[in-house]
């Protein structure tokens, strides 16, 4: 995925499914470096991770 698509997903009112390593995640924000984003797993766990934007996949 590219950073522009991540920005579109963040501003969208729709529920757009995004996966990281096959796991469904919510994108919280784009980090200042513009190459990584903070995400957390969908579901009860709120554990956040910093991941490379290019490794995110839109479903």
Is the pTM above the cut of 0.85? yes
Task: Report the chain's terminal Cα–Cα distance, integer Å.
Answer: 11
| Structure tokens, 5 | 């698509």
Domain ranges of the chain: 3-58
Q: What is the pLDDT of residues 2-38, one digit of tens each?
A: 999 999 999 999 999 999 999 999 999 999 999 999 9
Residue 26: which of 35, 38, 14 has the closest Cα? 38
**23 beta partners:** 20
The domain made up of 3-58 is a member of CATH 3.20.20: no
């Amino acid at each position: 995925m590219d950073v522009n698509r991540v920005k579109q997903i963040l501003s969208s009112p729709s529920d757009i499914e995004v996966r990281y390593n096959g796991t469904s995640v919510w994108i919280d924000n784009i980090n200042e470096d513009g190459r990584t984003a903070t995400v957390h797993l969908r579901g009860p766990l709120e554990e956040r991770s910093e991941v490379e934007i290019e490794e995110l996949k839109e479903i």
